[in-house]
Amino acid sequence: MATKRDYYEILGITQSANDDEIKAAYRRMAKKFHPDLNKEPNAADSFKEVSEAYEVLSDRQKRSTYDRFGHAGMSGAGANPFEGYNGMGGFSDIFEQFFGGAAQTGQRRAVQKGADINTTLVLTFEEAIFGSEKEVEINRYDTCGRCKGSKSEPGAETQRCPTCNGSGELRKVQNSIFGQFVNVTPCDRCQGEGRIVTNPCKECRGQGRVKITKRIAVKVPPGIDANSRIRISGEGEAGPRGTLPGNLNVGIVIKEHAVFRRVENNILLDLPLTIWQAALGDKLQVPTVDGQPMELEIKPGAQHGEVIRLREKGVPFLRGTGRGDQLVNINIVVPKKLTEEQRQLLLKLSQSMPREQIGQKDRDKDKDKDDKGFFRRIFSDA
């Protein structure tokens, strides 16, 4: 891989150059290497190199990063100032800021694609966990079946646009102190198509597209999460003149469950227990998202907030194999109303477990620890 040249060297300036000096250097080098003015084979590459250098050095934050780390600092995610540029489009934008009008590059305009469509799909908790086959209904523009997007009646001929002479472009020469530059814009009469429809299609009225309602099948993968998006290529709006259609973006909304909650790939279940179930232990059936209850053993002395894990009873991993777990959270419920018999039994139980003894051992241990710490501080200070 070729070593990239220093940005300051490319513009012919020193590292102490100010903003005005950087702009002046770019003007000079851009005029020297622009393909419309320089017909040498490597002129286009040199022009890109000059524009890249200016893009970085004209931005204070990017310049500071470059001064500290060099080209390595420009290679991180999002650091490349020309990421996403196609051909010389980005460089021409910079050139236009200085010299006015668009620079002529000799490249054809990008084919216009149909617009994307966004819609929403509501799933039940179980459908999101295990996946499902669903349908969404959308309204969109489709290519006209009668004219196949040509906008003309079948068999009818179109006329060459007299304004642009069939090129679809209008070119205007601009004079500046740097010479002549060509500003290219789409023809406003034929909308850049180069042809004029003389006998419009009767079905679409010369639009090339018709509005339809369509149901689209959506395959929901197991383990999909809320706020996810499923993209279905080619199911968006039809492109103009029969060009490529856009995409359908399906946003996912998941209904809440009556008893389950989801945290990443685990499923949470709050299990209410009575005081005596927690104290004595119990065996009971708990629901699972699979629809088949499982027997769960509650050991004597279970505490409020204790979690029991059911392995492989959670959410399937969206990218990979296996499943998360179901987490059963013990929630000890204190009865609000008691019969007289129940009240007497609890009263008898409380009398057999004096209040001053409850937790006394732990309090004594803490007190002894504090006392030792206190005396240790005294003797260490003596």
Confidence bin at 2 (pLDDT 50/70/90): low
Confidence bin at 376 (pLDDT 50/70/90): very low
Residues whose CB falls within 8 Å of the CB of residue 280, separated by 6 or more in sequence, listed in order? 300
Average pLDDT for the chain: 80
Reported pTM? 0.56
pLDDT computed for residue 124 by the predictor: 94
Give the mean pLDDT of 100-112: 48
Handedness of CA 42, 48, 53, 54 (dihedral sign): positive
Whole-angstrom distance, CA of residue 54 vs CA of residue 308: 61
pLDDT computed for residue 288 by the predictor: 92
Whole-angstrom distance, CA of residue 182 vs CA of residue 172: 6
Q: Which residue has the higher pLDDT, 74 or 375?
A: 74
- Token representation of residue 355: 């209040």
pLDDT computed for residue 31 by the predictor: 82
Confidence bin at 89 (pLDDT 50/70/90): very low
Q: Which residue has the higher pLDDT, 77 or 199?
A: 199
The closest of 213, 214, 228 to 123, measured between CA atoms, is 228
Give the mean pLDDT of 145-160: 87
Q: Which residue has the higher pLDDT, 101 or 317?
A: 317
Confidence bin at 192 (pLDDT 50/70/90): confident
Give the mean pLDDT of 296-322: 89
- Token representation of residue 357: 């003894």
Give the mean pLDDT of 140-155: 88
3-state secondary structure at position 280: helix
The amino acid occupying position 205 is R
Q: Output DSSP code: residue 200.
A: B
% of the chain exceeding 90 in pLDDT: 29
% of the chain exceeding 70 in pLDDT: 78
Strands across the sheet containing 248-254? 117-123, 248-254, 229-232
* Residue labelled with tokens 């018709």: 210
Whole-angstrom distance, CA of residue 89 vs CA of residue 245: 23
Whole-angstrom distance, CA of residue 147 vs CA of residue 206: 9
pLDDT higher than threshold 90 for residue 96: no
Highest mean pLDDT of the ranges 16-25, 41-50, 350-359: 16-25
Question: DSSP characters for 179-194?
Answer: EEEEEEEE-TTTTTSS
Cα 149–chain centre separation: 33
The closest of 259, 211, 224, 212 to 134, measured between CA atoms, is 224
pLDDT higher than threshold 50 for residue 118: yes
Residue-wise pLDDT tens digits, 219-278: 999 999 988 899 999 899 988 766 788 999 999 999 999 999 999 899 999 999 988 888
Give the mean pLDDT of 299-313: 91
Q: Which residue has the higher pLDDT, 329 or 72?
A: 329
Give the mean pLDDT of 327-344: 89
Handedness of CA 180, 183, 188, 190 (dihedral sign): positive
pLDDT higher than threshold 50 for residue 105: no
Least confident segment among 14-23, 101-110, 143-152:
101-110
Give the mean pLDDT of 29-58: 83
Give the mean pLDDT of 274-303: 90
Confidence bin at 177 (pLDDT 50/70/90): low
pLDDT computed for residue 114 by the predictor: 85
pLDDT computed for residue 198 by the predictor: 86
Q: Which residue has the higher pLDDT, 372 or 286?
A: 286
3-state secondary structure at position 252: strand
Confidence bin at 75 (pLDDT 50/70/90): low
- Token representation of residue 207: 């639009």
